[in-house]
Amino acid sequence: MAYWLYKSEPFKWSWSMQKEAGEAGTEWTGVRNYLARNHMRAMKLGDKGFFYHSNEGLEIVGITEVCALTHPDSTAEGDARWDCVDIRAVCDMPKPVSLKAIKANPALANMALVTSMRLSVQPVTEDEWDEVCRMGGLEPPPRAP
């Protein structure tokens, strides 16, 4: 199992919108970066991820799960280079974890959110997953079934 982080500007797609998508989840569309796309191609059903509000809030606010493997991105207008996965909301982060708190934690100094700020879909190591979940009051951290 792997862990991920999905960045979204809340005025475009917020955590509350993600939760409203329900059990079926929704496509994670609009990714136009090859590395981020390749991360989605590596995802497996049940992989967990952080939902991060970028630009406004700058914090991890929820936990997601991959519910459909990569397929053509419906917003790519027929451009076969771009894929997406479907994700669904799992639970709120009891205490949102801010970017400031992540940057202040030495255990997270190498986290992609700190080192690769612009990437919209990022890998998260198991140790980073556990630490951020601890910081957010989510213990034990959600795992794949």
- For residues 74 and 130, what is the distance between their CA atoms, to the nearest angstrom? 33
- pLDDT by position in tens, the chain (length 145): 799 999 999 999 999 999 999 999 999 999 999 999 999 999 999 999 999 999 899 999 999 999 999 999 999 998 999 999 999 999 999 999 999 999 999 999 999 999 987 899 999 999 999 999 999 999 899 886 6
Whether omega before 10 lies within 30 degrees of 0, making that bond cis, reads no
Question: pTM (2 decimals)?
Answer: 0.95
**Residue 91's closest CA among 29, 134, 138?**
138
**Residue ranges of domains in the chain, CATH in brackets:** 3-134 (3.10.590.10)
